[in-house]
């Protein structure tokens, strides 16, 4: 087995990988930018190398510095985590040329899945359903119009080089087509330097369900069931679950078989994820893309399968056979993950960097916190503001929700705004509890929230009543002090009013 691995990443995922290394008696080497000198992953690693100034383009993305650090440390392999260089085929080639092992798929598999049209063609050849649409970029407006009429509205325009919803336009009818095509083209050009777009039939209110696949270097390919990732904000996942609330063994088997066919088609090695859109109408599913990395939301799969995906990645990179067969994979119970961000949910999820004054992470059976910060540490403006992935396991979905509600009430982060209050509200939402999820969940939830929220004067009255009852010796609550640290000025006012009234 490897003696030493370099982790080309930061934050919680670097910490997660260091933990797996430790369990396998492998030394872990961190890299860090000037902004991350005191970061948790640096403290946890056996040794650490500075790779440059704070912006990731000058540090975590500088492959030559990362390979230099690997050589200097004597590491034999590089784990890329997710983001940064994890899906960069050129980086993989440089790693291999340096005589190091890249923990992940071949650069050829990455290239094959990197382009949307290329991935679509591979899926079609493998016999996997894709959304009806064009297999080549659109040339003229006239061609687009004829194609749209053949496919039938609504249609979706997508940037060929795209990702993250950039250059994507929903077109309801022919009147909108010209302006949508122009907009998609210019957005594709400015985002990816390539203005080519293609067309698909739009799946209305789809679910986003993905299959975890795993492959070794000996041609074994298995799947580890699905994750439901429909709850997204601006194409960023926010809550993930395994299994999907649909929880159909039949659908899982069908989608799993398709995901394995895609992995086989590109001689995949390691952990990968095959994304599908699932129609709510008839549960028909369509291949969307394959992500050639370990994903942020991998813990929910680990919680229901009991398989350590990072350990398995390292074993497979060393050349071992998969440690399990398809028959060994059983989905047990239900897992839910909330991505906790340093963002203000009351102000359109604005980033909220700063010092974490106080941190209390929930404990108890069935909870898992993949964090990358510590009390007293700083959340930097330079990187993704995700501070933790908080996951729970229950015997079924209802118990998982109950556990998440309890745990989120215990979770406390002071000093910065976080998305914790948002998750507490979602866990109480009837539509979420029913599992009636689609990619439009968050905007619809925000509308429901407005309808059910107490008015500002209701909140004043409730606080004055609570503060007054304390003044009368009937409550445990100190007047003028919030029980859970929120709305301090309103509570101070309520306390002063209560004192006045009780005199």
Residue from 44, 113, 131, 300 touching ligand MV4 (CB under 6 A): that is: 131
Report the site for ligand MV4 in 414-473 (rule: CB under 6 A). 439
DSSP character at residue 133: B
What does the block give as tokens for 486? 């929120």
CA distance linking residue 144 with residue 208, whole number of Å: 26
CA distance linking residue 84 with residue 65, whole number of Å: 14
Residue from 51, 156, 263, 317 touching ligand MV4 (CB under 6 A): that is: 156
Q: Is 200 in the site for ligand MV4 (CB under 6 A)?
A: yes
Among 41-49, 71-79, 202-210, 471-479, the segment contacting ligand MV4 (CB under 6 A)? 202-210
Residues linked to residue 397 through DSSP beta bridges, in sequence order: none
Q: Would you say 255 or 494 has its CB closer to ligand MV4?
A: 255
Among 137-145, 196-204, 347-355, 429-437, the segment contacting ligand MV4 (CB under 6 A)? 196-204
Q: DSSP per residue over 239-292, as a string?
A: EEEES-TT--HHHHHHHHHHHHHHHHHTT--EEEEEEEEE-TTT--EEEEEEE-
- Does the annotation count 311 as an active-site position? no
Q: Would you say 27 or 288 has its CB closer to ligand MV4?
A: 288
Q: Provide, rounded to whole angstroms, the least separation between the CB of residue 442 and ligand MV4.
A: 9
Q: Is 157 in the site for ligand MV4 (CB under 6 A)?
A: no
Among 199-207, 247-255, 330-338, 417-425, the segment contacting ligand MV4 (CB under 6 A)? 199-207
Q: Would you say 169 or 397 has its CB closer to ligand MV4?
A: 169
CB 66 within 8 A of CB 78: yes
Query: How many residues contact ligand MV4, by CB under 6 A?
Result: 15
Q: Provide, rounded to whole angstroms, the least separation between the CB of residue 255 and ligand MV4.
A: 15
CA distance linking residue 156 with residue 197, whole number of Å: 10
Q: Is 203 in the site for ligand MV4 (CB under 6 A)?
A: yes
CB 9 within 8 A of CB 88: no
Q: In what order do the strands lie in the sheet with 4-7?
A: 47-50, 27-32, 4-7, 77-79, 101-102
Q: Is 123 in the site for ligand MV4 (CB under 6 A)?
A: no
Residues linked to residue 197 through DSSP beta bridges, in sequence order: 159
What does the block give as tokens for 32? 């860090």
Q: Is 277 in the site for ligand MV4 (CB under 6 A)?
A: yes
Q: How far is CA 18 from CA 7, 306, 341, 480, in A?
A: 8, 19, 22, 45
Give the dihedral sign, CA 496/499/501/503: negative
Residue from 165, 333, 353, 421 touching ligand MV4 (CB under 6 A): that is: 165
Where does this chain bind ligand MV4 (CB under 6 A)? 131, 156, 165, 168, 200-203, 206, 208, 232, 235, 277, 288, 439
Which residues have a catalytic role annotated? 293
């Amino acid at each position: 087995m490897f003696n030493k691995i370099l982790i080309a990443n930061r934050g919680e995922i670097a910490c997660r990988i260091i933990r797996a290394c430790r369990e396998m008696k492998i030394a872990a080497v961190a890299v860090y930018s000037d902004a991350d000198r005191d970061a948790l992953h640096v403290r946890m690693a056996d040794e650490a190398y500075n790779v440059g100034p704070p912006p990731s383009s000058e540090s975590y993305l500088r492959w030559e510095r990362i390979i230099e650090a690997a050589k200097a440390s004597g590491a034999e392999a590089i784990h890329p985590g997710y983001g940064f260089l994890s899906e960069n085929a050129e980086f993989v080639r440089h790693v291999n040329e340096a005589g190091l092992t890249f923990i992940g798929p071949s650069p050829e598999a990455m290239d094959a899945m990197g382009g949307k049209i290329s991935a679509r063609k591979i899926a079609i050849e493998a016999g996997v359903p894709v959304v009806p649409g064009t297999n080549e970029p659109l040339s003229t407006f006239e061609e687009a119009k004829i194609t749209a009429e053949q496919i039938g509205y609504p249609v979706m325009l997508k940037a060929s080089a795209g990702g993250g919803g950039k250059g994507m336009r929903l077109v309801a009818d022919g009147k909108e087509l010209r302006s949508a095509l122009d907009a998609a083209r210019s957005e594709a050009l400015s985002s990816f330097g390539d203005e080519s777009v293609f067309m698909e039939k739009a799946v209305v209110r789809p679910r986003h369900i993905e299959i975890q696949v795993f492959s070794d270097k000996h041609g074994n390919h298995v799947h580890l069931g699905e994750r439901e990732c429909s709850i997204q904000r601006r194409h960023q996942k926010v809550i993930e679950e395994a299994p999907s609330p649909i929880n159909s063994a039949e659908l899982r088997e069908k989608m799993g078989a398709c995901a394995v066919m895609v992995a086989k088609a590109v001689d995949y090695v390691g952990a990968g994820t095959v994304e599908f859109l699932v129609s709510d109408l008839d549960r028909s599913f369509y291949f969307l893309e394959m992500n050639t990395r370990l994903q942020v939301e991998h813990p929910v799969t680990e919680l229901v399968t009991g398989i350590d995906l990072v350990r398995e990645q390292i074993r497979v990179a060393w050349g071992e056979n998969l440690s399990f067969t398809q028959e060994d994979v059983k989905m047990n119970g239900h897992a839910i993950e909330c991505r906790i961000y340093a963002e203000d949910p009351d102000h359109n999820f604005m980033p909220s960097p700063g010092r974490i004054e106080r941190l209390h992470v929930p404990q108890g059976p069935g909870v898992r916190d993949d964090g990358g910060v510590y009390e007293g540490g700083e959340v930097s403006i330079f990187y993704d503001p995700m501070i933790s992935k908080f996951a729970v396991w229950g015997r079924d979905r209802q118990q998982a929700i109950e556990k998440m509600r309890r745990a989120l009430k215990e979770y406390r982060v002071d000093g910065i705004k976080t998305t914790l209050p948002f998750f507490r509200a979602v866990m109480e939402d009837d539509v979420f509890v029913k599992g009636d999820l689609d990619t439009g969940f968050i905007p619809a939830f925000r509308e429901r929230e407005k309808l059910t929220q107490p008015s500002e004067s209701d909140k004043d009255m409730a606080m004055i009543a609570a503060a007054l009852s304390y003044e009368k010796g009937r409550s445990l609550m100190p007047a003028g002090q919030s029980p859970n640290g929120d709305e301090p000025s309103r509570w101070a006012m309520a306390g002063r009013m209560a004192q006045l009234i009780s005199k």
